[in-house]
Amino acid sequence: MSGEPEGNRAADGPTSVGATMHGRARPGWVRRLYDWVLHWAETPYGPLALFLLAFAESSFFPIPPDPLLIALCLGAPRKSLRFAVVASVASVAGGVLGYAIGAGAWHLVNEWFFTYVPGVTPEVFARVQGMYERWDFWAVFLAGLTPIPYKVFTLSAGVFGIDFGVFILASALSRGLRFFAVAALIYRFGPPIARFIDRYFDLLAVVFAVLLLAGFIVVKLVL
């Protein structure tokens, strides 16, 4: 996630964090799409755009909702938790759509998906199937919480017939934890913590997921 160099926007403006996510330039259409997503934070339609983005990202859209969520929270900190609810509900609903596509229409969209969704190949899908066979709930949970592309798991869950109840539970818990953690930190600490999240988001998500998984393993072993 990247954007304009520092100094092109006000330091505490609503899109300053999203515009510099991770400090890596995004070339071509992905960069233009990313900038288009962020501009909605400066309009009255920001919450609606967040809902649609989180919904679409769960099945096919390449840009995650986190930059827009951060920008909206910075622009209206008191509404941060409300924005997290919007992102969580929309993401899970989009995941249901992805599951349905995988279960009933994968043969119609698989070539398009592998062609136009960055980083996703048939080999990736094969590895995901192996993860489902070993982990089931945890495969979906970790995909929803971490930078692993969630859309790959929503679609493949339908393709491989993962239990729908397990899928919904894992999606709701992981997406809720992800979005509420970001919103709550910005609500409490404001722009300083937002810049920290901006810079280390992927690493923080992975560390948090590993610690959470380790905690469940310890509880299982002890009990």
pLDDT tens figures, 117-173? 766 778 888 888 888 888 888 889 888 887 677 888 899 999 999 999 999 999 999
**pLDDT at residue 196 greater than cutoff 80:** no
Question: Using CB atoms within 10 A of its CB, is residue 136 exposed (0-12), middle (13-18) or buried (19+)?
Answer: middle
Please, which pLDDT band fits residue 85 given cuts at 50, 70 and 90? very high
Mean per-residue pLDDT over the chain, rounded: 77
Report whether 88 contacts 184 (CB < 8 A): no
Q: Which of 27-36, 142-151, 212-221 reaches the highest mean pLDDT?
A: 142-151
CA separation, residue 157 to residues 115, 140, 141, 206 (Å):
20, 8, 12, 21
Please, which pLDDT band fits residue 208 given cuts at 50, 70 and 90? low
Model pTM above 0.85: no
Q: How far apart are the C-alpha atoms of 120 and 134, rounded to whole Å?
A: 21
Tokens of 204: 């923080």
Residues ≥6 apart with Cβ < 8 Å to 207 = none
Q: How far apart are the C-alpha atoms of 199 and 218, rounded to whole Å?
A: 31
**pLDDT at residue 33 greater than cutoff 50:** yes
94 DSSP 8-state letter: H
- pLDDT at residue 15, rounded to an integer: 43
